[in-house]
Amino acid sequence: MFEDVEINIPCPGCGQKTKKSVAWLKANKQFTCDGCSNAVTVDAEKLFAGIKKADKTLADFRKKLARREKR
């Protein structure tokens, strides 16, 4: 659901933010900072745990809405 969402990832070296989509981050764990050329490694485990939690919360909300509409 969040595949097209773009996230600003700050470089730990210079602080410059780089936008990457969730889909891109699922396929790649590292990129080169445009500001300082350092390799930036993304903590994908932490990122995707948060996305998974958001997906579940949204699914639960949709179920509640569907139940209310049936009443």
What does the pLDDT average to over 5-30? 92
Q: Report yes or no: 43 and 29 within 8 Å, Cβ to Cβ.
A: no
What pLDDT is stored for residue 1 in this prediction?
Answer: 60
Average pLDDT, the chain: 88
What pLDDT is stored for residue 48 in this prediction?
Answer: 76
Torsion (CA) 56, 58, 30, 6 in degrees, nearest 10: 180
Tokens, residue 33: 């900072």
52 or 18, higher pLDDT: 18
Looking up tokens 């891109």 gives: 24
Tokens, residue 49: 């745990």
CA 70 and chain centroid, separation:
33
Q: Taking 90 as the threshold, does the pLDDT of residue 52 lie above it?
A: no
CA–CA separation, 71 and 64 (whole Å) = 11
